[in-house]
Structure 1
């Protein structure tokens, strides 16, 4: 059997033909069988290992390697499949009641030595710190189908994997939650009132861990200052409005006094004129 043909439109990074499902299925198989899953994510896989996986894909499909979008398509899909398989392995680990049980129980998805290496990483404080609740994990939760056991679509999967890779490239001493928020905005972009890809949803209350981040504390302090300023200006405005009301009241009373005075004068003048006319 020869290579499988693919139709890839100019500028696209995915096949648009009847063999598209064969392409994605084959890449999943290549990752499961040939990829070294001990790396934290696709971005940590050495170039020589990536090239070996790419060569396997090129051996199975008709591709024009002179085209940028063909090369990018293969590398992007391999990265997505690698990170997705990594995520599936971690889900297996989380099903165990303890780290020790996970080591004993293992899985047939990878070799024992690979599983032990992964378990060691997942149990580390560094990994737990990196995966603390943040906007990247929130994106995954809102774009993951529990029923299907996968992301709701390929775009969501790619966006999440891209955010995870960029987060993994950050320096270890950086504030993870703050870095995750920045990466979230870089990957998805942001419009007024909502983040692209998250819909017009109600903004959730920040998690306890988020509340401890430097960014949250800074914004909270700024918000408190703004509230204090607003209360001060409101107090000044209330006093000003009270003064205006007092002036209006005084002015109204003064107008009444003048009106009564004028009416008295007019009535006095009329009476005097009547008396003079009668005398004449």
Structure 2
């Protein structure tokens, strides 16, 4: 999420730079929340040839996109959470997520006829049994219908590399990877809890030592005061009077 927000923030700064007529005007028209020195560095980067070349390539690739989505500025992660079942709380799979991000919910119309064809093909493959009775993963189905981009499944939005494997794998392999991730998360949580328990144990030990020290100081102070009190009493007694009883604690 932080990576996505940074990408949007960087894009907003670039759009501000592009709205200026010249580079000199852009340098003098920095946003109020960016220091002049930082804004000047950004302007130099925006006007550099490597950045301009990458921008032209990205614009050309964006123009080749035939099917867009209807998610707008809302991230696919947020849509995945919003589309969960209200009763079971189960979140949709990748195929159903594709429908939710390419079909307008208000009118039921697809953003592009090709999107409707893609989803119909994926839904058909999903409902067909396999010869070995092994259920195919939805990532495999999407990879077969939509293809891949740099080895990753298309149609899962920005950051899909975290969701899709580099190549199609069996559902058992995906489940194993998911179990390993959960085990790794649990292991980190256990390690964190161990650290917390050790800190609490050390804190309790320090408190116990402090209490023992205060008890000892109180005992010593009490003995000193009792001794001074008996000495004062003895000084006021006649010399032929019997000595006061000794203090025993």
Flag whether TM exceeds 0.5 (same fold): no
Quick one: higher RCO (CA 8 Å, sep 6+), 1 or 2? 1
